[in-house]
Structure 1
């Protein structure tokens, strides 16, 4: 297969993965897969959370497609699709785990309007700690934060976590 065609397949796979990721996050992780994903909406006591298993689960099709396309005699495009899934996973890790959740310490501060928008949208997703009532399920494409805030307000802030209180605030509460 000519490499320009393979590169196009890879690029289209990365783009398509955003739709897959939205659907998986919205209807799988906030649906029957909540038993793993719930750990991601709570404070993480250590380096790992149950939600991290999704990275391993979603890596399996990428690995199988890469092996199929490169070693098992499948259509060569399978390798490019597998590489596109892996590329999306790397982008996701960089954005989600490094930039937003800072699981690897960095001094990066979003400066562009795009980066500020997707970081804020993801943070608004995390103000809801329940399975239902969330907003913004995409990772690289997100609605404007103003519309997400309005939607949370329209839902009467159902499931929105209480603000953190300091020790002084806690001692003055009844």
Structure 2
């Protein structure tokens, strides 16, 4: 059962690393027309950018379905990606962007650092001027007290 835990952690970690790369080089690159909807003010609950969540969620679902019969590495990696997706939804959509107003702004030092890094990312609505592309892995400077 230890391998299940390791593959779950691997799936979660792979999403953070690949998410950083995809966000920086693809979303702020050739797919900017879709992602820019996230950098613009909107009165709608949904953004065109939400298509990326459907894509990543679909990958997780496929891995889970393909691996559920044997409970092999595909199932557990799909679970890791899913846990990342739930974490992303909670941190990014609920706490940072407050798409659902369930909680106040974060007070925990770790969450405050993530919040500051994301605010810095959204300080511009231009394709090339953004900083801090990860969700959990962000520069240390955002965790310093202000």
* Same fold flag (TM > 0.5): yes
* One of 99, 111, 117 as aligned partner of 1:121: 117
Q: 1:8-47, CA deviations, whole angstroms, 9 ceiling, x for partnerless residues?
A: 2101221221111100100111011111101000001211
The match for 2:17 is: 19
Distance of aligned partners of 1:106 and 1:78 in 2 relative to their CA distance in 1, 3 Å threshold: same
| Bigger radius of gyration among the two | 1
* One of 28, 31, 34 as aligned partner of 1:33: 31
Query: How far apart are the structure 2 equivalents of 1:49 and 1:115?
Result: 24
Q: TM-score, normalised by structure 2?
A: 0.91
The match for 2:76 is: 80
Q: Structure 1 residue 146: deviation in Å? A: 8.8
Query: How far apart are the structure 2 equivalents of 1:40 and 1:53?
Result: 11
The match for 1:91 is: 87
Write out aligned runs for 1:44-63 (5 A): 44-63=42-61
The match for 1:69 is: 67
Distance of aligned partners of 1:126 and 1:115 in 2 relative to their CA distance in 1, 3 Å threshold: same
Query: How far apart are the structure 1 equivalents of 2:41 and 2:96?
Result: 14
CA contact (8 A) 2:120 2:132 kept: yes
Query: How far apart are the structure 2 equivalents of 1:120 and 1:8?
Result: 30
CA contact (8 A) 2:68 2:75 kept: yes
Q: TM-score, normalised by structure 1?
A: 0.77
Query: How far apart are the structure 1 equivalents of 2:44 and 2:126?
Result: 21
The match for 1:145 is: 142
Q: Structure 1 residue 108: deviation in Å? A: 2.8
Bigger RCO (CA 8 Å, 6+ sep): 2
CA contact (8 A) 2:109 2:143 kept: no
Q: 1:97-155, CA deviations, whole angstroms, 9 ceiling, x for partnerless residues?
A: 000000001233322221111101101100110111110000012112399xxxxxxxx
